[in-house]
Amino acid sequence: MTARSLEPKCRANTRFAPYKTLFQPVVLVITQTNSVKKSTSLALLSSRSALAAHQQFFEFALCQLAPLAQLQISQLQRPDPAALQTLDPQAELEKLQHAVATDPANDDARFEYVKRLLQDGQVPQARTAFAPVANKTGLVRRLYALERWLNAIEFIAARADSERVVAVFDSKIALNKRDFETRYDKARLLIAAQQWTDAMDELLEILMRDKAWNEDLARKTYVAVLDLIEPAKPKVADGQIPPDDPVVATYRRRLSSVVLS
């Protein structure tokens, strides 16, 4: 069976017409190559019959490849049931809870579980889940990050009107840029409210003026926030490096520039 015998079928199949533009550069290269080589033994390629044959082959290839492309597109557009399940917050929370119950010594699983509870505002449940590892915060950095978050929530819970408290903090800082205690308290309030970048900006204000303030507390809290907001690395092919989250990467660079200056 020749390309010519398939040509009417291919052209009749207008469903794949939009794909033709993808192959036009190939046809152009063939035409240009024919023009350049017409003085050689391949001069026959520049003849009208040869170009027509190329066009017929193009139509034939289009009919063969377009269905495969359409299949791939349809597969990409079809929802993945497993992915849909991860969109259900309750199902995801139960999955994390099960992971901790199955392997209580898995600090990474516990971190994700407690973090998710805090994100959802389930503070008592988060405290209960965190209690078994509270004595490990000096050894495991991500557990220390959870402790910073829980302490920030305790701090704000003792203050009824957070907006008024922020206003008081801002007025005190305006009078004294080196009032690090107030700056740190404001950062804690912002952490409790999950205003992560604002909290890190406030901590940077401390670090720019005193890198080792209060036994390195500002820097440690800043790093804790980075650990809290860094998303899980996406899966990539073997040998490839997963991309960094842009916000985390930016604030990590800002920390380095301040600490190393």
How would residue 229 be classed by pLDDT, with cut points 50, 70 and 90?
very high
What are the residue boundaries of the structural domains of the chain, listed by start? 3-77, 89-155, 170-259
Compute the distance between CA of residue 170 and CA of residue 177 in angstroms, rounded to an integer.
10
3-state helix, strand, coil in the chain (%, to 5): 80, 0, 20
How would residue 86 be classed by pLDDT, with cut points 50, 70 and 90?
low
pTM of the model: 0.67
Q: What is the pLDDT of residues 109-147, one digit of tens each?
A: 999 999 999 999 999 999 999 999 999 999 999 999 999
SS3 for 205? Answer: helix
Pick from 245, 207, 220, 195: which is nearest to 145 by CA?
A: 220
CB 114 within 8 A of CB 130: yes
pLDDT value for 233: 84
Q: What is the pLDDT of residues 141-164, one digit of tens each?
A: 999 999 999 999 999 988 867 788
The class (CATH top level) of 170-259 is mainly alpha
